Structure 1
């Protein structure tokens, strides 16, 4: 099972949209995909019409029970989506308490990684949607992942969030002796505005080949898909936004094939 984490220490940059778009495309290609919500706001959970208040089991239970949770119990915590091959591990507001209640506990940063290892035979991909705050949840998501996708809105305030994210990854790499593979994904790009053009130029100058050479454009179809509680590839398969995410997926595939050669 390949594990990707979608993360940035700034909200509103397109993390959930990126998660559901890539997950939907992979599922449409016949891959078994698990989307994991690690954000207390539960945007990914609500996207699929799952009411976090009604859940008996969620990602919170994995953190609380840790290694005591068997693979069958983890699988029972998953919610099927309306998309074939696509399941959700939902979040509840309770995970907002984890930093306070468990943040200093030894081994806390590897709970999610160990849990996913127990169900790795059931899925081809797991994609984690991260909160914008550095804490137990983000640390777990980064530690579990093989590739980090960093959506960055093409405007200058968002570039500051990227700076914080890069510092976090440097700290994580040092503490885990792990070199992260990451791709910066320019999002909400509007070629009509100088702000988008300048922000994209700054991204490429600062991070060079770590920036995906494409862009995710501003596309109102994403909002409509969310309202309909459908993944974009299902709701608007021919939209420019879906086309862009298909291109991103191809790019990631090329990177991974290059790393394996």
Structure 2
């Protein structure tokens, strides 16, 4: 199973949309895909018409066993998404309490890794939607992943958030046996605005080795897909946003293959 995390320490950059768009395209291609919602806001869970405020069981349950994951628990938490090859490990607002609980517990940083190990044979890909906060949930997402996707809205404040994310990744990589590869993805790009154009140039100048050399444009069809509760590619396979995400997916798959060969 290939495991990717989608993360940024700034919200509102297209993180959940990126996770769902990539997952939907993989599922359309016949892959068995798991999406993992680790954000207490539960945007991914809400996208597929599950309520993170009232859901009975969620990824929060995985963290209630002292760093261990009871056999069979992850499989019992899986929910349907309406796409026959796409399954969801949902979030709940209870996840927000983990940061207060975690200082008194050890071993919580590998809970998601242990959970995915139980599901390894059931899925070809897993994509983890991480919260915009450095804490036990983001640490879990990064520890479990083989590649990191960092969506960055093409505006100045998002670039400042990217700097924090890259610093966090450098810290995390010091404790990993193999550094986590990361790919910066410009999102919400609007070529009509000077802010988008100048931010894209700044990203190209400052992060040439890790920047995907294209961008995801502003596309109302992505918002329409969210409103309909279906993956963007099933809502409109030829929209500008889906075409961009299809190119991004091809790039990520090629990068992972190259890394494995190396």
Q: Give the TM-score range, shorter chain.
A: over 0.9
Asked if the contact 1:39/1:130 (under 8 Å) is kept, the reply is: yes
Asked if the contact 1:32–1:122 (Cα under 8 Å) also holds between the matched residues in 2, the reply is: yes
Please tell me whether the aligned partners of residues 37 and 59 of structure 2 are also in contact (alpha carbons under 8 angstroms). yes
Deviations 1:205-257 (A, max 9, x none): 11102100110000011111111111100111110100000000011111122
CA contact (8 A) 1:103 1:136 kept: no
Shift in Å at residue 24 of structure 1? 0.4
Q: How does 1:91-240 map to 2 (within 5 A)?
A: 91-240=91-240
Unaligned runs of 5+ residues in structure 1 are none
Map of 1:67 onto structure 2: 68
Deviation, 1:84, is: 1.5
* 8 Å contact from structure 2 (residues 69, 115) kept in 1: no
> Does the Cα contact within 8 Å between 1:28 and 1:84 map onto a contact in 2?
no
Superposed CA deviations along residues 72-100 of structure 1, whole A, max 9, x for unmatched, are 32111010110120000001010101111
Deviations 1:19-74 (A, max 9, x none): 0000000000000000010001000000000112342221000111242411x321
| Alpha-carbon contact 1:222-1:241 (below 8 Å) kept | yes
Aligned residues: 260
Distance 1:104 1:144 in 2: 22
When structure 1 is superposed on structure 2, of 32-41 and 174-183 the one drifting more is 174-183
Partner residue, 1:18: 18
Structure-1-length-normalised TM-score: 0.97
Unpaired runs of 5+ in structure 2? none
Report the equivalent of 1:81: 81
TM-score of the two chains, using structure 2 as the length reference: 0.96
Distance 2:182 2:197 in 1: 22
2: CA distance, partners of 1:253 / 1:109: 26
